[in-house]
Amino acid sequence: MRKRTLSLLLALTLAVGVLAVPAAAADFAIPGNQYILASSEPTGTTAYSGCTVYIYPEGTEFTLANIPSFPCDLTAYDTDKVGTVNFGPNYEFYSAVDPLPFVPQAGVIYHLVASDTMTGFESYILIEGSATTTPTEPAEPTDPAEPTEPAEPEDPSEPTEPAEPEEPAEQPAEWAAEQVSAGIELGIVPESLQSAYAQATTRAEFCALAAGLYETVTGSEITDRMTFTDTEDENVEKMAALGVVNGVGENRFDPDASLTRQEAATMLARLAAALEKPLPAQASTFADTDSVASWALEAVGQMQASGVMNGTGNDMFSPGDPYERQQSIATIMRLYELVK
């Protein structure tokens, strides 16, 4: 569960000891969050992006505790549709819960925020539906296997087939091969990313490419650092110091999480700005622009206008899709051509 700074008004309210009015006997506060009440107690916990998710039975209703003299709303975000916030403090608005109570759908992880704004006292919940709680019938016992005839011994005089040669290391797709080769030759692509080109790029791996581009263009090493509690990767620290990337909350970066296309677009746009070569502004015209997170909209438009990133076909950008290594390298090299 993330904690963010609430508004000054709430801080003053709490400072003078004004707390939530005790809830009815049937209401239970979410552990660690006295402002969001549930009609049932949690049955367990799981995890989502480093946060604790409290599991509740199907049909559980959620309301707010009464906070006197303070306007407070309950807002819910479906994490499958919004995801974690990696760039900036603002959340893409998904669904306002009004009127109360909020009855969430089973099987969906929700991010609940109690506040007069888009930040405040936050909790993650998961409703465990009947499909996941109903015990399954035990499998029918299987008959013991019939004894098999012993295999015929091999004739030692027969020549054996030679072993198949090992497959060569994976090569990038034909469309990316030239840019991958150029990136390796310039020293922008580290050795750790010179294989498994169709594999999803992690957040830390993209920072390595971004740092390689920046230092190649400027001809000097980035000396500033911004640290996180969950990684000591120097490329992450360099990019954070330049403002190219932010964390995911509680001073964490989540370095091993797969990079999405809209995250890549935002990093690329910020990298160009850090090099004092901002990309041209343009509103995105992709058919799925409405599914792009609000924090990434400007960057996606910049990618489209500059040609650094293209769509995925059928006029789609696919903002939440993972971004392959070869795609990351290709777009880093396209940006290099614009800013060198």
Given the structure tokens 């559980």, which residue do they identify? 60
Q: What is the mean pLDDT of residues 267-276?
A: 96
pLDDT exceeds cutoff 60 at 1: no
pLDDT of residue 26: 55
pLDDT exceeds cutoff 50 at 125: yes
Interatomic CA distance for residues 72 and 120, integer angstroms: 9
pLDDT of residue 55: 92
pLDDT of residue 47: 80
250-266 pLDDT, tens digit each? 899 999 999 999 999 99
Listed range (43-47, 213-217, 267-271, 303-307) with the worst mean pLDDT: 43-47
Listed range (49-58, 188-197, 224-233) with the worst mean pLDDT: 49-58
Sorted by where each begins, the domain ranges of the chain are 8-132, 174-339
pLDDT exceeds cutoff 80 at 54: yes
200-228 pLDDT, tens digit each? 999 999 999 999 999 999 999 999 999 99
Q: What percent of the chain has pLDDT over 90?
A: 47
pLDDT of residue 2: 39
pLDDT exceeds cutoff 80 at 61: yes
Q: What is the mean pLDDT of residues 106-130?
A: 75
pLDDT of residue 320: 92
Buried b or exposed e, range 236-269, using 16+ CB within 10 angstroms: bbbbbbbebbbbbbeebbbbebbbbbbbbbbbbb
pLDDT of residue 53: 87
pLDDT of residue 302: 96
Task: Tell me what the pLDDT averaged over the chain comes to.
Answer: 77
pLDDT of residue 286: 94
pLDDT of residue 29: 87
Q: Hey, which of 58-72, 117-131, 162-176, 240-254 has the most confident mean pLDDT? A: 240-254
Q: What is the mean pLDDT of residues 120-133?
A: 70
pLDDT exceeds cutoff 60 at 11: no
139-195 pLDDT, tens digit each? 344 444 444 444 454 454 445 455 454 444 478 998 899 999 999 999 999 999 999
pLDDT of residue 164: 52
Q: What is the mean pLDDT of residues 47-61?
A: 84
pLDDT of residue 9: 38
Q: Strand 44-48: give its sheet, edge to edge.
A: 44-48, 51-57, 121-128, 109-115, 73-78, 95-96
Q: What percent of the chain has pLDDT over 70?
A: 70
pLDDT exceeds cutoff 60 at 248: yes
pLDDT exceeds cutoff 60 at 38: yes
